[in-house]
Amino acid sequence: MLLKTRAILVLVVGAAMGLSLSFGGGLLANRQLPNEEALAREQARLLAEVMDRVKRDFVEPVDDSALLESAIRGMVSDLDAHSEYLDADEYRDVRTSTTGTYTGVGIEISQADGIITVITPIAGSPAARADIRSGDQIIAIDGVSIEPAKLRDTVGRMRGKPGSRINITVLRDGAAIVHEMRREIIRVASVHHEILGPSYGYVRVSQFNDTTARELGRAIDALQDQEGGMLDGLILDLRNNPGGVLDAAVDVSDLFLDAGLIVTANGRTPDAQFERSAHRGDVLDGGELIVLVNKGSASASEIVAGALQDHGRAAVVGTATFGKGLVQTVMPLSKGRAIKLTTSRYYTPSGASIHGAGITPDVYVKESPGYPDLSLTGAVDRENDAQLLGAIERLQRRRVMHSNAQ
């Protein structure tokens, strides 16, 4: 065995031992060291043995750093579908995406049971224009089959220089469909707004980033200025919104609530156990509120829908949401790297976990084919979008009921 390889293996053994001791839940203090230490030594020995075999016998030479990085990626990604190791470039992309600007085709995906599924295309993105839809299963990129277990690799293959071509093959209703598009700098305006009628407003939130709550507040102010006073009702459209920054979801919920829990989270560490509550001040001053959701509404969208529904602040209209009730924390490492780790499960104010189940709407309305319109400039369609029509009808009914109650 080469001297360099020996050094790497010693480092791996030492790292494995260090991890077992640091994550062992106070093994030294609890005097449980003998059995745990023996197990840690055995596992570290196995890791060193496998690395040695790969170094010696794999058909092509393997770089030490690449081999170690693969081992780290596998260790983290095998935890669940959402945890991953991020190299310096990937970590930079994650930090950039929270600002609402990044390079790619504009698509949110998830991996579960060996299948890579589209959560939603981002409004106005190449993926949305190419008619990629929520629920599509990605099976190939540029004609090359993807590896379902490698979500990060799939994301990486969709990245590239702005203007470069890419073909994404999806499986929809048993048929393979190839979508051709060009990569772009995705600058997502996360909020679109317009007036529906006298004193009725509409806002669509396409994702949750660092500026979303501020954008939404300004949009509602603009609608109220346009109507010359407070709105009687508002439709908050979260359809095909894949989520994003948790604090943005909390701030958006807080815009419409005067008090009470917004979300709680439970994890193993003190930092992973928290709750967020509303502050006094409702931007609608009690005006009627409807939240539109569908199967593409995930994560942060579900926090907002669940909080407003549990407090009776809004009626939720549409179909059941995606059902992602896990919190990921991005933890910086050395040399610009990081890990994104699932650290908590979050719960709505009523204590319900929606992971795997989603938010059940108060009023079920099936989607119309081709809706919602995902173009950034597309106006709402009050004739063909059945879910929007259902929301408008519910909004008008609630307003009449509220007026009669007074």
Tell me which residues are annotated as active site.
Answer: 299, 310, 324
Q: Which of 159, 133, 137 is nearest to 148 (CA)?
A: 137
- Cβ neighbours for 164, distance < 8 A, ≥ 6 positions apart: 182, 183
Which residue's entry shows tokens 């997502």?
Answer: 188
Question: 339 is written with which tokens?
Answer: 């890990």
- CB atoms under 10 Å from CB of 22, counted, come to 9
Residue 98 has φ and ψ, to the nearest 5°, of -70, -15
The b-or-e profile of 50-65 (16+ CB within 10 A means b, else e) is: ebeeebeeeeeeeebe
